[in-house]
């Protein structure tokens, strides 16, 4: 019997976040994926360096790849250093990969990384979202709602 998956992931140390993704996309489903890294990439991430602001994931040949994520070279890496923007393999179960591939191919959805973090066991993980792009009017609605919540909190704070 399979162990039930938790609703939230065990994020001990967050390294990089894609805050823009929640504004630009409707998040449908999230997945926790391992990431295949070299030694200098792990060391660079442990120092808190790295960005996933303009990155995305794609399914090719039954594998999921993180494209355009920037993990800068490690300062003491010498000749063993890595390429900062190389594609990195994401580690998911085969049924999850098939589900993601079907959603991307049929429904026109996008795989967007939301954050890179270390879990409780010290493993680097990527929070991957299956998302659908927002239209301009949806983004305006999001801005209105965010401003209204901020204003309501301000009013309640003043009265209470």
pLDDT digits (tens, 9 = 90+) for 82-96: 888 899 999 999 999
Nearest to 124 by CA among 42, 44, 17, 7: 42
- Could you tell me which residues come within 8 angstroms of residue 23 by beta carbon, excluding any fewer than 6 positions away? 134, 139, 142
pLDDT digits (tens, 9 = 90+) for 47-84: 888 889 889 999 999 999 999 998 888 887 778 788 88
State the first-to-last Cα distance of the chain, in angstroms, to the nearest integer: 51
Cα 57 to Cα 75, 78, 87, 88, 113, distances in angstroms? 27, 29, 9, 9, 7
Query: What's the confidence (pLDDT) of residue 12?
Result: 81
Whether pLDDT at 10 is above 90: no
Query: What's the confidence (pLDDT) of residue 21?
Result: 86
Q: How confident is the model at residue 5 (pLDDT cuts 50, 70, 90)?
A: low
Query: What's the confidence (pLDDT) of residue 95?
Result: 94
Task: Tell me how far the alpha carbon of residue 48 is from its chain's centroid.
Answer: 15
Degrees, nearest 5: CA angle 98-64-86 = 170
pLDDT digits (tens, 9 = 90+) for 119-157: 988 899 999 999 988 888 888 988 999 999 999 999 998
Q: How confident is the model at residue 4 (pLDDT cuts 50, 70, 90)?
A: low
pLDDT digits (tens, 9 = 90+) for 119-128: 988 899 999 9
- Could you tell me which residues come within 8 angstroms of residue 97 by beta carbon, excluding any fewer than 6 positions away? 59, 62, 63, 64
Q: How much of the chain is helix, strand and coil, in % rounded to 5?
A: 35, 30, 35
pLDDT digits (tens, 9 = 90+) for 11-30: 888 898 998 888 888 899 99
Whether pLDDT at 3 is above 70: no
What is the set of domains in the chain, with CATH numbers?
13-134 (2.40.280.10)
């Amino acid at each position: 019997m399979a162990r039930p998956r938790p609703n939230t992931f065990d994020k001990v140390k967050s390294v990089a976040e894609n805050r823009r993704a929640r504004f630009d996309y409707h998040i449908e489903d999230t997945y926790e994926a391992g990431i295949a890294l070299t030694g200098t990439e792990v060391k660079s991430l442990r120092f808190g360096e790295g960005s996933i602001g303009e990155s995305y994931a794609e399914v090719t040949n039954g594998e999921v790849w993180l494209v355009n994520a920037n993990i800068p070279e490690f300062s003491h890496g010498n000749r063993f250093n890595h390429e900062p923007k190389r594609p990195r393999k994401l580690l998911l179960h085969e049924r999850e990969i098939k589900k993601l591939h079907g959603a991307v191919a049929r429904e026109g959805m996008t795989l967007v990384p939301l954050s890179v973090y270390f879990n409780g066991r010290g493993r680097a993980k990527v929070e991957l979202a299956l998302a659908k792009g927002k239209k301009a009017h949806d983004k305006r609605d999001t801005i209105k709602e965010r401003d209204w919540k901020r204003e309501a909190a301000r009013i309640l704070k003043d009265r209470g």
